[in-house]
Amino acid sequence: MTTTLQNRDLAAVMARLDAMDARLSAIVARQEKTDELFAEMTPILRDVMATATAKLDGLEKKGWFAFGRELAGVAERVVEGFDPREVHELGDAVVSILRTVRALTQPRVLEVAADASEVIENGENAAPLGLIGMVRATSDEDVQKGMAVIMEIMRHVGRAAKAVQAERGARDPMAARKEKLAAALGPRRKRSEAPPATVGKAPVAAACGGVSRGADEPLVDPKAWTKEAAAEIAASLGVPLDGARWAVIDFARSEFETTGTSPNIRRLTQGTKLATKDIYALFPKAPARTVARIAGIPKPAGCI
């Protein structure tokens, strides 16, 4: 009986050993295949790395990486100087510019431009044309068509000028009131009176809290700033002043007094420990520029 049990145990052990031997053989075979693969791929990988290194070195020598760094700097200045709405408008403007360029580079338009350039280049050969000659020339169908095109262009230019003027007036709600006030006071001014005070080229346009303010809104003298003036400017901009907004304004003034530079949006977030979205929540439209106007300091560099 004991001998039978020993034989069974021995047979079980031998079976396990056979299974382990089979597994080890499979692992060894797999490792050999892996080693063969690495041996075959190593020269290829070396060639790939050498090619990639050469390509990257060529790009570096051509200035692609330097260009990328400068482009990132431009993007950073755009982020600091413009709010998302202005960037969106800039994108729309770029699309419009590209469409205009595409229209101007159509073969027919380029052909007309080339003909006009040739006429200008040979202008000294053109015979002088008097008033009567001009009248006679208007009977030519091509001249009539050209005059019609020129008049249509002038009509569009005039319409665009009106739109620009209206947009400027919309940006400055006080513009119409200032014009009415200037029209009312202009004729009454005596010749002996001195012209309005100026700082550089910017005439004084108004006063807030008894403090003179320039035509482009910042105070003429930042040292003359008062909280009453700030409250009046904020009210004209539709910005309610509370504790959080006063903290941002006080930091902006402190930064300007310390460095002589008005803080941009990034510096405002760093100095006040507020997130960019929080700054935009407090001052939705052009935060850095709005804070500077209320704080009575010049607008930050990069703001328009």
pLDDT for the residue 268: 92
CB 262 within 8 A of CB 300: yes
- Could you give the angle at which helices 2-62 and 64-81 cross, rounded to 10 degrees? 80
Predicted local confidence at residue 270, as pLDDT = 92
- pTM of the full predicted structure? 0.33
pLDDT of the residue at 199: 39
Query: What is the mean pLDDT of each successive set of 10 residues along the chain, which is 304 residues long?
Result: 72 84 86 83 84 84 85 78 75 80 83 79 74 80 82 82 68 58 52 42 45 51 82 90 93 91 91 92 90 89 65
Other beta carbons within 10 angstroms of residue 72's beta carbon come to 10
Side chain identity, residue 121: E
* pLDDT confidence of residue 215: 44
- Crossing angle for the helix pair 287-295 and 265-272, to the nearest 10 degrees: 70
- How confident is the model at residue 60, as a pLDDT? 82
- pLDDT number for residue 242: 92
Cα–Cα–Cα angle for 261, 266, 271, nearest 5°?
75
Rounded Cα gap, residues 302 and 264, in angstroms: 9
Which one from 103, 189, 303, 304 is the annotated catalytic residue? 303
Number of helices (H), then strands (E), belonging to the chain: the values are 12, 3
What is the reported pLDDT for 185?
53
CB-side neighbour CA atoms (13 Å) of 78: 14
Cα angle, residue 76 at apex, residues 75 and 81 outer, rounded to 5° = 100
Tell me how far apart the alpha carbons of residues 184 and 197 are, in angstroms, rounded to a whole number: 19
Alpha helices in 63-138 (DSSP H): 64-81, 84-104, 107-121, 131-137
Catalytic-residue membership of 303: yes
Nearest Cα to 236, choosing from 278, 259, 200, 206?
A: 206
